[in-house]
Structure 1
Amino acid sequence: MDPNPIRTALSVCNHLVSQKIYAIVVSHPVIGDLSPAAVSYTSGFYHIPVIGISSRDSAFSDKNIHVSFLRTVPPYSHQADVWVELLKQFNYRKVIFIHSSDTDGRALVGRFQTTSQNQQDDVEIKIQVESIIEFEPGLETFNDHLLEMKSAQARVYIMYAGKNDAEVIFRDARVLQMTGEGYVWIVTEQALDAINVPEGTIGLRLVNSTNELAHIRDSIYILAKALREMNKTEEITEAPGNCNDPGNIWESGKLLFEYIRKQVLLNGATGKVAFDDNGDRIYAEYDVINVKEMNMKYPVGQYYFNSEQNKMKLRIDESNILWPGRKKDKPVGERIPTHLHVLTIEEKPFVYVRAIKRSEGDSCKNDELFCPLLKISSKNSSEFCCRGYCMDLLKELAQKINVTYNLTLSPDGQFGSYVTKNNSGKREWTGLIGELVNERADMIVAPLTINPERAEFIEFSKPYKYQGITILEKKPSRSSTLVSFLQPFSNTLWTLVMVSVHVVALVLYLLDRFSPFGRYKLSNTEGTEEDALNLSSAIWFAWGVLLNSGIGEGTPRSFSARVLGMVWAGFAMIIVASYTANLAAFLVLERPKTKLTGINDARLRNTMENLTCATVRNSAVDMYFRRQVELSNMYRTMEANNYDTAEEAIRDVKEGKLMAFIWDSSRLDFEAAQDCELVTAGELFGRSGYGIGLQKGSPWADAVTLAILDFHESGFMEKLDNKWILQGNVQNCEFYEKTPNTLGLKNMAGVFILVAAGIVGGIGLIIIEMVYKKHQIRKQKKLELARHAIDKWRGAIQVGLFSKY
């Protein structure tokens, strides 16, 4: 190296400007050991563009130092773009990143993280960096870091290291058996040149990286094209004539740099040539290299520019890849645990929880699983046993995918919500979801609704049960009043019947009274005639016919009156038959209908003081209402009424304190099956499903999904439905719905009261009659006494008169 590189650089600069050179193409050191960095740095003072064709250090991307530097080769950090595509192709979601602590290593890990995060918005696969291991170049051993890596879950290692450091890392990894089956190494170009690179390693190699003539050709084309375009609109001034003057800046050089940076060469010798804002080559193509037997390196794919889609594409022949351990099947890429930490939550009928007391010798039964709380709660015991739909599913699932597990209950009794913590503005999940997101659990087996908010942070299996949202309410009780027997007819009809009885009686009386045939002679010696039908007898006859009672006397005698009597008998038959039919419908076969028609009921959609509806706060149903704009008015009304648990809401529905509880249809169908006084209203809405919750990128996701699909096909899920949800009670309720009501005193109390009123009325009338009769007797006695006194007086007067004469 020249002891005075600045002086040497100035000499080069003066030589170039004396030759009227407007741009420099730099490959190998020029003038002794002068590096491209020195040339670029010096030329940057005067804004003379420099085009590099072999310099790939990330330091050249810093425009504060290398102001006018461009290059037709990409920096090492651009390999991160290919690595992200490889991980997506192989479906690897969790990696460990190993890099040297130099500029290129840090730039590479930074670009990898940025690229992976930017692409996660468009793809389902989200790449997680489990840990980043940074080392100082010049390694002697890497054992400590490898031991740390071996205990991690990820088995995919992304490595940027120089050739010598890579040899140390591979040497120690081989000793710890971390280069064999189940492990994946994806390395940069330098590490691929290590003499002990393991079989199955995946690496990259820049296409045309050693073809300097191709890069020089593309550089000249780019430069000529830029000068041609610049000359059309700009006046190109001469380059600086004296490099010893630091203030002699070439203004045209600034413009020329921008013109070069904006150039695009579609069909260059090295492919499509273009530059980013830093002057770095983009659209560079790579070969994907696979290390096979005898350290032979074979291309198994390519990262290339697709002119039809106008973007870079990755093409991989996976069948031609030899993986570590000389396996043809792709490794899973993660350490798959065989013992899982499973969480659940109390929710009937899916999970029943029973507290146990070890001190009293209590323990879990055969159909129960031991499920302690994660944290000490306010309950009497922190040890519980669980059974139910989900527990049977968990036992069958563990046997199907061949894992063991320990089961615990939710720490706060909640499914979890996405909330802001400690006024810091940072949001995080609570409850079951929070435990899974923070990797404190491996799986959730519970009635966990699949929704977009949760799916963004955790993995869901295929639904093990499809369901929706419905409304639970208490069946309206039939209002049996004292006059329930009058319900078959309206008040108007009853009034007309009452009027008709007396009108017919009056007409019968008149017809029989004025008819010449309304009376007939009695067969006695005196030849007297029977009296015609009186009004009292006519009323008795009309009522007797209507009520179908026997009539022994007081019947019409005339033909005209008897014709009317026949018509009245027909009318009475129709009225009585209609009343009997309607009475059966009202008192025997009638079933009350639900008060609500469903979620679109106008009383739910509009604020009403006399209607209370609610759901469980921070639940999946609560999230559904927040998403639906058309339900915003309804949600604002019900938000203040929401409950902490479903059990509290269902209890209040039974007690009549809550009119409508909106919740998952599976749970509400179960409650309606248990209690025939409860009913679900309307059709299902917000259809979704219950799924098994897993960590993002869990290696068990596919196995769990396949197992659940198999359970559906084999009928196992249907058995669980019949055993835990329906429990045979739906059929009982349906039978109850189709069976006529057994009439009781409540239904027929009015009839008995009517009879009692008749008895009381009869007693009252006979008392009146007796009082009236006694009054008549007393009055008659007084009249007889008065008549007797008068007769005596009259007799006395007559005797006195006779005595005078």
Structure 2
Amino acid sequence: MKPRGIQWYSTLPSIKIALIIWTLCIEPCKNKEQLTMGIVVPSDFFMKRTTNAKIFEKKNGIASIDDDDFRLALSRYRFDITRLELKAISKTAGYSPWDILDVICEKIMTNKWNTVLYANYNEEFNAASVQYLLSLLSFMGIPTIVWVPFKSGLAENPSESLNLQLTPSVYHIDAALLKLMNHYSWSRFSIITTNIPGNAELVATMRRMIKTEFEGREYVLLDSVKIWNAQNSAEVYEQLKVIKDSDARIIVLYASRAEAIEIMQAAQSETLNIATDEYLWIVTHQAVLFDEEQRLEFPVGMLGLTFGEDDTLWDRPTFFSAIEIGMDVWLEGIKQFILANPDPARANSTNPPSLVPNFSCEPNQTAYWADGQILYKYMQGVNLSDKNIQFKPDGTLKEFAFKVMNFNKDHIWKSVGVFDADGLKLDDISWPGDAATPPRDRPEKYHLKVVTLEEPPYVTYSDLDPRTWKCNPGASLCRMKPLNITQQYSFENATRNSTLYRCCSGFCIDLLNLLAEKMGFDYELYVVEDRKWGAPDSKDENGKPMWNGLVKDLMDHKADMCMTSLKINPERSSVISFSVPFLETGITIVVAVREGAISPKAFLEPFDIKSWLLILLAAIQVVAVSVFLFEWGSPYGFNRQKRPVTRDESHGRKSDSKHHQHRFSLFRSFWLIWAMLFGAAVNVDNPRGVSSRFMANIWALFAVVFLASYTANLAAFMIAKEEYYDLKGIQDPMLHNPFAVNPAFKFATVNSGATSINLKKNYPNMYSYMQQWNKVNAAEGTQAVKDKKIDAFIYDATVLEYRASHDEGCKLKTVGNWYAMTGYGVSFPKDSKYVDTVNEHLLQLIQRGDLERLQKYWLAGACKKNNQRGVSSHPLKIVNFTSAYILLAGGILLGALLLLMEHVYFKCFRPKLRKWDKCGCCGLISLSMGKSLTFEQSVMETLDLTKNYKCKNPICETQRWKVQHELDLALLKIERLHMRLRTHGFEIQEKAVWRDNRPKAITFREEPDVCNMPRKRKNFKQQASQDKPSYDVHKENKEFPLANDKTHIVPASRPSSTPEQEHKPKTSPSFWKSKKKDKDKSATPSPQPYRSKTPPPPYNAVDPKNKTRHLGGRQYSGVRSDPPIDHLEMETVL
């Protein structure tokens, strides 16, 4: 048993045969719809009969199609293949709108035409009416196939049109023309068009194609002339004169046959004479004439482009071949449509596409066939490879073949080549004048006289090479004297005389050489005799201005062209002609740059005033106060007290020291911040607190950034600044009122130049003042500025910019805004024929960037201050440090002022401030101020100095220990004497000696807190009897009253004293004297000594428990035989 799939495929042929039988036998019995294509041809009986024969042949060919799939699909659409009808109209579609509408309603809509083929070989038909018909058909949605050989641009409509063009488009014509010109290396040409369809498109397409360098060659369209009415001979002559005045030698004519005859007759006239051997005319297919009488009007050697099967005329085979191709395109489009939609019943849409239009001329019926665009797309995609028919998206052919025709000396158009997809193939051609070679695309070289004048960098003079007596490459020989003088010598001898001939080079000379190459001319270059630019210097008898210089030579036609930096202005433009500007310029001012003195505030100039105020008056103050406040609030610093805490106190232990080693205040915070800012190597007191130290580190980071930025920019300001007159422009007050300064401000310009003309016209007072200093040229003017003969020089901006940038030593500088903006132009005699050609070439050079390259080469540059190689700087002089010396001198004066203020403070303000500052708050601000207000602070400072003193050799240490030992023995002896005196009842005067438990010092105890003392103090004796103060060295009585109001002395204390007893005043001889005087004045009785019941240990006994030594009741640490001073102790002295 066979598989089911094989059984299915085996039954397919029988099913297909059944469907074909149904299609051929049963289905034709039903009513079928007709597919109709209308053909519009000229009103010609023979053409109508032949066209009907072609239609009948095509119908028979359609009936004999053996494509089963196509016939099956066609039957499903209910189309009768045997009744497929093609209708023809023997009309030109009418010449009036009514005739066109009548054809549309009676023929096209009534017969349901789904495509129209319009073919017309007649040259004289009304193109506007045909254009109107094609537009209406596209509006109705009916595809149109067009064949109009004489109106190539007729069917080239916008993208929404439904036209398929069988004739060549303007793109094909332009491509064939450029291919032909490229074959003979022609790159310069002109186009003449008339008002036939496609004339504007032809020129626009040509410009677009040459812009992209078609076939790798650069083309130049010199002129594009349009003749609206070729029957008007005046208009024809006027437009052709433009061609004559140009350099065009290759001329393309796009016109009809009748128009071409009129144009060629005018071109061959004696007035124009532009059909000679130097000119070559190329006509398009519309103007190729085959009539014997008419073609005699054409010159020998013309070239033409045409197409067709016969070389003699627009033959009938070509016409009927076009109709046959149109029908093939339509039939192939129908076939593709049906095969793409084989079964309309199964279409997804409720309204499947139809090949039969449903429009009508009735008012209530639609006049648009939407499915026509679908049919147009299928027809557009047709590819008839055997006939080379394939369309582009715009409806034109992708490729088209042209024949190249040549009008030979027998006055016959002969085919000499073909242009198709394979390229251009040519045979021998008869050229104009029976020449053996093709003509050039430009005229033979002509000679021009060019006048110039020196103006670096535009024109620069140099001597000839003494070896060859020729100019170097890029330079041109220029005559320096009039021709009547140079003709007295032979050319060889004249060139060796530098007063007669020199070499000219520069921007304008390079531009002149480019124009000579592009335009094909030779030139003779000479310098104007009076060496002036050109300005009216006098008037003739009729009151007209008489010019001089370059302008005069052009007005007198001594020169054909002027090439130099001649500025364009209205006065010159009225008497000579200028090209488009090749470089913009204006008027500016140049002044001299002189070395000036360094600013006294140069050290401040790296930052502006706002930055300095922010750093000095804000940042430093805020950071210094912040560091002090953080330290004052830190438990490791002040702990919000008036004095710093000791290290024991910061760790929660009782302090065993009477002195505070940490020193810090607000002013010391400022000192720290300033020292860190400038990295000064000075002694500073650092904070203890974590927050204050962190803030100091942040400030150190800021200082690094600040110093790096400051030093990086300081060098630029420590050099001598350049001084110059910073004028704002031509409107600067110093120019309009030069006597406002002393001496008067002097400035100048060049006589007979554009600048002098402008100033004379707009600023007559300024011009009359500056005339006494005017110069001959710009070189003299800039040198006068450098020599201080004048203060400023006014001239062309680009010239002064060049001179300033190339000045030796950079002593020139342009200032102010440019004024009177204009440009340099190539100048000619009035109404010269070369102006338009030069303009065109200049625009091309500007567009290609050639002028920009010349400008960068000649105008760019930077002056060099140092001409010696290897030397980049000079030693610094004292003048470079003027500001630093001023800063140092200012610091010395400020220090002297501060010293004076210190003396004023100590003599005038300290006593008042001491009475006011009872709590010692000034010590928080400044330690020096606090010490100056209290005696205790001064003594403590001396004790600290003594404490921190260390011997630097053993001898010093031995002597110091010996003196200390003798002092201890003396004090011990005094103590025993006091005890004996008290035993015997002697009364002892109160004098106190303090001994410090710290070695190397004898100090006073610090004053008690006056702010915390009781207002009423008890009697000394009552206090002694009640409290029984002890002189035992192992105890401390904090409440012991003082005998002196000025310097208070309190009993001794043990080493484990409170933190308030850390600092003790140091003894001095003056102190004892003061105490003695105070004692005599005081009447307070001395307290009685207290005797301890426990006898003191023997002298020099060692305690075995703690290894301490006892000296007369005093305990010393260690095992040293000679004890140091142990602790503070008060004894009375006789």
In terms of Rg, which structure is larger?
2
Query: What is the TM-score with the length of structure 2 in the denominator?
Result: 0.32
